Amino acid sequence: MLCDEDGERFLEDFLKRGRRYIVAGCAPVMQKKLFRDALEKAGLDINKDLIPLDVRNMKLDEALNVVKNALKEAGKDV
């Protein structure tokens, strides 16, 4: 779980400058609250480096399409 100490340690090791991160989950506002401190600690700008996607109440195929589209918009091959 990202919400406890192990999650904090994982994020410290995982988050790197010069990358953007797509997070698909709950409301984007909640995602920003959850990841704000970790992104700031890694020297990242939450408004530029986090791409929060709201996939609540979606079937798997729908959620995957939302993620694929976000990756394409970010210039990644899917």
> Has residue 78 been placed in a domain?
no
The pLDDT value given to residue 3: 66
> Has residue 26 been placed in a domain?
yes
Q: Number of folded domains in the chain?
A: 1
The pLDDT value given to residue 9: 87
Kindly report the pTM of this predicted structure. Answer: 0.83
pLDDT digits (tens, 9 = 90+) for 18-59: 999 999 998 999 999 889 989 999 999 999 999 999 999 999
Q: Which domain holds residue 54?
A: 5-73
Flag whether pLDDT at 60 surpasses 90. Answer: yes
Task: Tell me the H-state helices in 1-78.
Answer: 5-14, 28-41, 46-49, 60-73
Q: Could you give the CA distance from residue 1 to residue 64 in angstroms, rounded to a whole number? A: 21
> Has residue 13 been placed in a domain?
yes
